[in-house]
Chain A
C-alpha cells in the first residue's frame, strides 16, 4: 500500500525557518517525481515545488522561489522541503504528492504550518 507521511509542521514566527519531511513507503520512491502542494485554511490547492526522480530537475512556484528548497533522499525514502524567510501567507497544510503521468496520484495526510507572531 502506498503511503506518504508528512511531518515537521508547527507554529513559527515570520522570518523563521522550517524543514518538512515526507516519508514514503509501499513503492519505490526512486522511480517517481515528487511534489509539495499546499492549501491555506479554507482556500484552494496551490502547487509549491517539483523534483524529478533523480533530483536533476527542480521547479518551484514564483511565490516560494528563492525561499523554499525541495530535496529528496531516495535511499531514505524521503522527500523534504526547506522553508526559509517564512511569511504569514505561507500558512497552510502542506501535502507531499507523488506524480505519475503528470497527475498527483497519491497524497499524504498533510502537515500544518502556521506562520504567526
Chain B
C-alpha cells in the first residue's frame, strides 16, 4: 500500500495552465479508471474535484480537468486563479484499498 507519487509543489502565474502528475503502479492507477483528485485549502476540509479520472462533480469549475496515461494520472488547472492556491491530492482505488498521493502544493505567483 505505497503512496502515489506527486510533485511536492507546482506554481504558475494567473491565467496560466498547470498540470499535477500522480504516478502509481500497475496495481492501482494503471489497472483502474478510478482516480480522484481533492483540493484542500489550509485548515479546510478536502473537496472532491475529479472522480473516475476525468469526471467533474456538479459545481466544480470546468477549468479543472483530469486524464490518465498508463500508471500516471494528471490534473490540469487552466486559467489559474488566486483561489486555486491550495494542496491537491490524487487518490486511486487498488482493488481492496484506496491510496492517496503525498500531495502537491499549488502556488499562484
In the docked arrangement, what's the CA distance between A105 and B89, Å?
14
For B104, the closest partner residue in chain A by CB is A44
Residue of B nearest to A58 (CB): B96
CA–CA, A107 to B50, complex, Å? 15
Contact A101 B89 (CB under 8 A): no
Say yes or no: is A55 at the interface (Cβ < 8 Å to chain B): no
> Are A47's CB and B91's CB within 8 A?
yes
**CB pair B1 A61 closer than 8 Å:** yes
B residues touching A (Cβ–Cβ < 8 Å)?
1, 3, 34, 36, 38, 40, 45-48, 50-52, 55, 57, 87, 89, 91, 93, 96-103
**Interface residues of B, dominant DSSP:** strand
Q: Could you tell me which residues of chain A, from 15 to 38, have a CB within 8 Å of some CB in chain B?
A: 35, 37
Chain B residues with CB under 8 A of A62: 1, 97
> Please, how many residues of chain A have a CB less than 8 angstroms from a CB on the other chain?
23
Which residues of chain B come closer than 8 Å to A102, judged between CB atoms? 34, 36, 51-52, 93
* Nearest neighbor of A57 in chain B, beta-carbon distance: B96
Is there contact, CB below 8 Å, between B48 and A104?
A: yes
* Contact surface of A with B, Cβ cutoff 8 Å: 35, 37, 44-47, 50, 59-63, 95, 100-105, 107-110
Contacts A103-B51, A104-B36, A104-B91 given: A45-B1 contact, CB under 8 Å? Answer: no
Contact check: which of B45, B52, B89 meets A44 at CB < 8 Å?
B89
The interface residues of chain B lying within 8 Å CB-to-CB of A45 are 38, 40, 46, 89, 91, 100, 103
B12 CB, min distance to chain A CBs, angstroms? 21
Knowing that A50-B97, A108-B45 are A-B contacts, what are 5 other residue pairs whose CB atoms are under 8 Å apart, sorted by A's residue number?
A45-B38, A45-B100, A47-B97, A103-B91, A110-B45
In the complex the two chains form, is A95's CB within 8 Å of B45's CB? yes
Please, how many angstroms separate the alpha-carbon atoms of A45 and B91 in the complex? 9
**Min C-beta distance of A79 to chain B, whole Å:** 16
Cβ of A22 to closest chain B Cβ, rounded Å: 13
> Across the interface, which residues of B come within 8 angstroms of A63, CB to CB?
1
Give the residues in chain B near A109, CB-CB below 8 Å: 45
Question: Once the chains bind, are B48 and A105 in contact (CB under 8 Å)?
Answer: yes
Could you say which of B34, B47, B51, B98 contacts A47, with CB atoms under 8 Å apart?
A: B98
